[in-house]
Amino acid sequence: MAVRKIRIWPDPALKEVAAPVHPIDDEVRRLVSDLFETMYQANGVGLAATQVAVTQRVLVIDLDPHGQAKNDAEVAADLKAMGFAGPTAFINPEIVESEGEILWEEGCLSVPGVTEQVRRHERVVVRALDMQGQPFELNVNGLFAVAVQHEIDHLDGKVFVEYLSKLKRDVIKRKMERLKVEAIDDGVAAAAIL
């Protein structure tokens, strides 16, 4: 496993549309491991392959990266109610059903230090392949549904700030341009104001 460099918006790599994965081989499994390691290192709950400049339809989500559910029954119940059963890799994910609407305060590892409210579907059914190439389908809601939609957007070349007004996007873009983002030895992005 390796920590990879997370691309920072407006890096052109984030506009790339990911291609379906066929077949699921050891290289893809290594990518999944790297995505989890990179996400955990950066304190995220989701990461798409395009965020590390790999144009394959692969994403990972872990809504409990610090293992709180093991010691807190309320957290465990909340996660279960969202449809979350543990760290999940999605290969060739697609949303096959959606309903409702929710306004959610989103952040992104590719847009560090920025959170904004984004309108999403409240519930989605996502279909994907697992690491063995077996199809699965999850019916998810709340944060899990938001995370799935957010990460699939990355695979489609879209970052959450694109849901915002042009004025807000321009302000965020200027903020990102004022930050000098450098990869450090362990692959974690560190921001320093210029």
What's 28-59 look like in SS3? HHHHHHHHHHHHHHCCCCEEEHHHHCCCECEE
Distance CA 106, CA 75 (A): 20
CA distance 151 to 57: 10
- Out of 106, 137, 151, 182, which one is annotated catalytic? 151
d(CA 13, CA 16): 5
151 is catalytic: yes
- The first and second tokens of residue 33, run together, are 């491991």
Please identify every residue annotated as catalytic.
Answer: 151
